[in-house]
Structure 1
Amino acid sequence: METQRIIEFPHKNMDKRPRKRPRLTWDVPPPLPPPKVLPALYCVQEFGNGGMPNYACSSMFYGAIPRTGSPPWRPDDKDGHYVFAIGENLTPRYRILSKMGEGTFGQVVECFDNEKKELVAIKIVRSINKYREAAMIEIDVLQRLARHDIGGPRCVQIRNWFDYRNHICIVFEKLGPSLYDFLRKNSYRSFPIDLVRELGRQLLESVAFMHELRLIHTDLKPENILLVSAEYVKVPDYKFLSRSSKDGSYFKNLPKSSAIKLIDFGSTTFEHQDHSYVVSTRHYRAPEVILGLGWNYPCDLWSVGCILIELCSGEALFQTHENLEHLAMMERVLGPLPHHMVIRADRRAEKYFRRGARLDWPDGATSRDSMRAVWKLLRLPVIYLYSASPNCLCKFYAITHCLLCSILC
């Protein structure tokens, strides 16, 4: 039986990091006969005055929908992903235009909303219980953000959500590319320092807004920061003007608008919840997480500092896949880990230290390549000399240095 429950909301390469695998083909088996048509419950949630939701429910009979309204029923693929074809409908309301991305949670597709006559992005969660449960938690967070982020200037706005063929589907406003996608398509050329400062200001305001609501994002990274607009302009790249190029590499792209929004609240945690497990994508993970000290709001600030450096340089600061190497990189860039953190490290992290006080590096390195990866890193002030002009270097360095050192103080 195909059940649909809808909750409505008002409108308001250089990089060595492992990335979410691209999905190259679709495993589309022969369609099965559609299930017996049964009535489904259609629930709408609208916000009234004071931000409290009002519910209205009605019955919607699929027998009244044209035969072309919904695609044939297909089994999911072996990983629990929803199988679809471009051009068909996701419920009669949404027509699938393209696939935008894929992750461990499921897929994101661009759709046209036949009712609102607008483009939207729909996150189709895998039909596996743990991902369905995580999606419901994300919806709870999105509802909380929507009630307080009036006009939606900080976080992506949820339009509605529904359960379709055992897949939780979350409908969002359509935004532009992520900062990571923009960097990648721009050959990992860094952003101008003035633009980084503006992006940083908005990012800090968004994080502060979440923290005021006692929410910790825990997975801040360039992939989870989207430009509101996809428009861009080409400008000369003065680092390449002296070179001869046939492919126009002496130009780089800059976004027309600097407006950004946070996305992906699937890992967002409330302050009162358990904070003992590992969070954050590796390259933006704070030292207290690696050391097993427990984490809180500062772990988001550490991620912000790493992001700002990446926007300035074009490359992730800590390109590593192993904890000891990661800690060694932190010490290389920022100086020794504070003693009070080292002595509180949990039992699993004790192996990273010699006699419980000094990092076991380079003796504990797994290879010479690992040692070279650490030694090639520069101190934080030197990194900015390559990315910032003298006029704004001191102020920008001070801001980002405080962010990176916030948990180390």
Structure 2
Amino acid sequence: MIELKKYLDFPLEKSYEEPIQKRLFQNMKRSHIAFQGLIISFQVIMMLSISLRPGGPFLKPRRTAYFSMYVILAVITLAVMIINMSLVKRQPLNHRFYFRINYFYMGLLCLWSTAVTLNDQLGGNGLNVFTYVMLTVAVLTISKPWHNILIMGGNFLLLNYLLPYFPDPHGADQTFNNLMNSLFTTILAIAISTIFYRNRIRKEYDQIIITEQYNQINDINAQLHQEVLTDKLTGLFNRRYLEDTVKNFFRKNQEDHHNAACMMIDIDFFKQYNDTYGHQAGDNCLYAISQLFARDIQDEDACLIRYGGEEFLIFLFGNSSLDAGTKAELIRSAVEQGMYHTAKVPKRPMTISIGLYQESPMKETDMERFIFRADQALYEAKKNGRNCVMEYRQQPMP
């Protein structure tokens, strides 16, 4: 019973029912509206054909019944189509109401086919309308199998209950033939609608799984890419990021003739600190100082790189580079005033040396030359006693 219930209801995990219904709505809405437009056109043609016959649509009660049913189906279909079109345009999309409207319309089509078929019996016609409408509904519906059993099965019972009241005009007893033919048509329609429904559900489910897996792969790739470009200890970008990303950013600013500045930063006497307090303390110190750098340039148009060991590189572009010397001094002063310590390391200040090179506006100097000149200025800062900022000065030609 559990398996049967699952087969006749939503066949997958309930958590997927809502997203699958949304996808079904998105994929089926245009075809449903087009089909409804086709039905309206066909009903108009039928109304015109009856109206143009001698005596018009009201000559005989049976002809009037046909005409009335064509008008009723056209009007109701037009109303459903207008509602569906409004639902398609509405945000957020109300897919649940859309499906309820279409369940109603599916039941209406089935009832309409029964009414036309009963009227056909008075002229000695068969179950043609009942058959093609039921099969058409089976192909187009996207409702659960038990919905189809209720609607189509109920329509089958209603037809065969009313057929004796619409006898064949020639006196032939078609009860058994009508019962067998309508039963076969109903079973076939339910089977087709069930197969189509499950296939559509499975297709949308597969698409959702593929999308989820694709997003997961993208997230993993983005994470791996971030890890490749990021220094694990400090969380700052590394030299690979410098080559892969900053180089292009540098070139773009150079082409636009923006300003640029480069700071090469080195922690003073870091090797002695490492040897005295251990590598763990050294790593803690590197992390603390790197976070201070990140804090001081977070609102700037800048790129912060851990260049290697205790060396850091900062590129400033545009207006951010105009007062690069002042920014460098603020960074140096902030580090000097900080106290880096752990349980095993006494409070003590650390200092940094900064080499600065800037161009305003940028010339044809490439990024490697920028870094080289900032490094040359850093070398001068170390020669000058460390804990200072030195700007690169072009050496005069001899």
TM-score normalised by length of structure 1: 0.17
Q: Which has the larger radius of gyration?
A: 2
Task: Flag the structure with higher helix content.
Answer: 2
TM-score normalised by length of structure 2: 0.17
Task: Flag the structure with higher strand content.
Answer: 1
